[in-house]
Amino acid sequence: MNQQTVLITGGAGFLGSHLCDFLLKHGYTVICVDNLITGRLANIEHLSSNRLFKFIEQDVCEGLKIRGRVDFVLHFASLASPVDYARLPIETLKVGSLGTLNALELAHRKRAVFMMASTSEVYGDPLQNPQKEEYWGNVNPVGPRSMYDESKRFAEALTMAYHRKLGVNTRIVRIFNTYGPRMKSDDGRIVPNLITQALTGRPMTIYGDGKQTRSFCYVSDLISGIYKLMEANYHEPVNLGNPIEKNMLELANVIKEITGVDSKLVFKPLPGDDPKQRRPDITRAKSILGWSPKISLQQGLTETIRWFSDELNTD
């Protein structure tokens, strides 16, 4: 088989950089496109000498002009953390709309497979638990999270339009809470927040009463599912995440146990429109992809804490 080329937008980000690693190990040529608004060169600097890897510093919202063959376009450019999309709401909406349009146009021109990285946030504050792909969600279109939620919902609609109208070979992955090495310490999401606070001896912040739930998937599990979806001929959205539900107090206690610290818990008001439950129904991923997560929360957090400990000690 001829060498296949994958273009990854947002390739210097948390998930994008892990995708770069995985696909290079599987023999693909990888073109990483990132404007570094939230991505970091440190995430991909170890790939700079790899002849199969190319980095292009470019904003996908301004178009994508790529010479030569492209077999897959994986659109992972996004401002995915609450801190980032609250700080940069217009940029968040642009990358979900213009960025998705430009990535789809490239896939259409190159006759490439297109994958759109969507999110569990399309379900909003769900009235159904667990969330199935058929569920339409409970989203506030003008709320404090709407710039992220609605940009992803629009991106899904645009992806399906390109598939139905123009025949683009599309995939949509709905990503539930994922964690692991290369998350930023100031990311704003619960796992890096609690780990950083524990490792630096600060009180650990719990929002609301801590009974709201999330389902935490380790990054290597997610990447393997994304790869399986790349290879599958399936166009409807697919949930990828860990279906084991944990509340925030349980998560904090596991982190305290692994780090060996006894940090005080500080309770703060729950942010607006913060979902009270988040748990994927992964029946579709199991049946179509033969995928389910393997890494336990204890194992994944141990690896993540080790990485954050090294990172904080070198800063």
In the three-class reduction of DSSP (H, G, I as helix; E, B as strand; rest coil), residue 204 is classed as strand
Residue pair 247/194 in contact by the 8 Å Cβ criterion = no
Q: β-pairing, 213-215 with 245-247? A: antiparallel
**What amino acid is encoded at 197 in this protein?**
Q
Q: Torsion-angle region of residue 188: left (phi > 0), alpha (psi -120 to 50) or beta? A: left
Torsion of CA 103, 104, 109, 112, to 10 degrees: 90
Tell me which DSSP letter residue 208 carries: T
The dihedral sign for the CA sequence 301, 14, 217, 96:
positive
Cα(256)–Cα(268) distance, integer angstroms: 19
Q: Which residues fall within 8 angstroms of residue 167, CB to CB, at 6 or more apart?
A: none
> Could you give the CA distance from residue 167 to residue 235 in angstroms, rounded to a whole number?
11
State the catalytic residue, choosing from 123, 148, 162, 179.
148
Beta-strand ranges (E) seen in the chain are 5-9, 29-34, 53-57, 72-75, 113-119, 170-175, 178-179, 204-207, 213-215, 217-218, 237-240, 245-247, 265-268
CB 32 within 8 A of CB 45: no
Q: Which amino acid is at 229?
A: L
Question: 193 and 205 in contact (C-beta within 8 Å)?
Answer: yes
Residue 304 in 3-state DSSP? helix
222 three-class SS: helix
Please say if 148 is a catalytic residue.
Answer: yes
Enzyme catalytic residues = 148
